[in-house]
């Protein structure tokens, strides 16, 4: 009777295993596809960022070159002449050279004078 019953009964173990194998296989497959898709989209992002970086570098260089040109002596000279502001390099007699005098070295405290007063916090 038991044997008969056992023959006809649904065996959950193997079915579960089969389902599990299917799920794992599908999961691995989907995971692989998802991973590939992620790699591709990251690749695209890398490419976009590379292009953006290159553009920024180019723009930086363009602006740097432009700045260098605007600061060049011949450009400044031309602009000064255009603006006609009578700006010129100062003549030597117009230049005042400030010579910093060295402070005399502090005298060592002498015996018998007031003790050196210090303050501290």
The enclosing H or E element of 106 equals none
Q: In the complex, what is the shortest distance from the CB of residue 75 to other proteins, in angstroms, rounded to a whole number?
A: 8
d(Cα 33, Cα 42) in Å, to the nearest integer?
14
Residues 32-71 close enough to bind other proteins by CB under 8 A: 39-40, 42-44, 46-47, 58, 61-62, 65, 68-69, 71
Nearer to other proteins, 25 or 60 (CB): 60
Residue whose token pair is 């290159």: 54
Q: Which two tokens stand for residue 117?
A: 């007063």
- H helices within the chain, ranges in order? 2-8, 12-71, 73-83
Q: Is 86 in the site for other proteins (CB under 8 A)?
A: no
Nearer to other proteins, 52 or 62 (CB): 62
Q: Is 83 in the site for other proteins (CB under 8 A)?
A: no
């Amino acid at each position: 009777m038991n044997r008969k019953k056992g023959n006809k009964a649904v065996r959950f173990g193997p079915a579960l295993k089969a389902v599990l194998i299917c799920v794992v296989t599908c999961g691995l497959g989907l995971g692989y596809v998802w991973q590939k898709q992620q790699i591709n989209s990251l690749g695209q992002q890398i490419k976009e960022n590379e292009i953006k970086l290159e553009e920024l570098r180019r723009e930086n260089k363009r602006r740097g070159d432009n700045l260098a040109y605007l600061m060049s002596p011949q450009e400044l000279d031309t602009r000064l002449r255009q603006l006609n502001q009578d700006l010129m390099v100062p003549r030597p007699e117009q230049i005042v050279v400030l010579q910093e005098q060295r402070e005399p070295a502090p005298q060592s405290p002498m015996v018998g004078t007031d003790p050196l007063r210090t303050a501290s916090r």
